[in-house]
Amino acid sequence: MRILALFAISVLILSSCKSAIRIIDKPIVYDQERKLLTLEYLEQRYGIKANSPKITPKMIVLHWTVIPTLQKSFEAFENATLPNWRPDIKTVSGLNVSSQFMVDRDGTVYRLLPETIMARHVIGLNHCAIGVENVGGDIGQPLTKAQLKSNIWLVRYLSNKYDIDYLIGHYEYTLFENHPLWLEKDSGYRTVKTDPGADFMEKVRKAVDDLNFKLLPKS
């Protein structure tokens, strides 16, 4: 009887672990303005003229927000336009930054945009990349074990659904400058990134080794 009870408890624990991660929709503003700015971004930065800002996912890009809370991280992406955007400066897109997913410190996974709508999170590659932002990161607030677990889960979920070739950390994006997927027209438009840290990427990659993503281009 005792053994049976123990068995029942362990089955319960195992099954609850399995179903512990799920996606919660927490949409940022996706209105006509954001749609038009996204279409403009696709055309101006990549030369893609489209009627819909849909992407064909080929890559997953992992990030950290540095912003310490979910609420503040969400607020940074929520509005359609960049804060302090001046529409009179035509050379700079007013489209706010965002990502399709955000993972809270406790590992909760939020979907901020439909998975195949373009988000502005990685120069040169937004037309083919799904972004996963992790709340926090950097010195003083390293990404948590729960976030690691959820990122691994999310990479598997997305790879099952789409034809994903590459998994990268944001800091690796410039390796793609000479790759056919790279479409940014301005060779001077680059930012230096360190997120989400080499250590975090190593752990995620190790856990999803069986998915056989392609090797990154050499620098």
| 120 vs 170, beta carbon nearer Zn ion | 170
Region binding Zn ion by CB under 5 A among candidate stretches 6-14, 31-39, 151-159, 168-176: 168-176
The residue number whose beta carbon is nearest to Zn ion equals 63
User: Within its chain, how far is the Cα of 100 from the centroid?
Assistant: 6
Compute the half-sphere exposure of residue 201: CA atoms within 13 Å on the CB side of its CA: 18
Burial class of residue 100 (count of CB atoms within 10 Å of its CB; 0-12, 13-18, 19+)? buried
Applying CB under 5 A, does 63 fall inside the site for Zn ion? yes
Region binding Zn ion by CB under 5 A among candidate stretches 39-47, 63-71, 78-86, 176-184: 63-71
CB of 128 to Zn ion, least distance (A): 16
Kindly state the tokens that stand for 197. 């840290």
| 50 vs 93, beta carbon nearer Zn ion | 93
Applying CB under 5 A, does 170 fall inside the site for Zn ion? yes
CB of 169 to Zn ion, least distance (A): 8
Burial class of residue 111 (count of CB atoms within 10 Å of its CB; 0-12, 13-18, 19+)? middle
Kindly state the tokens that stand for 7. 């068995």
Binding-site size, Zn ion (CB under 5 A)? 3
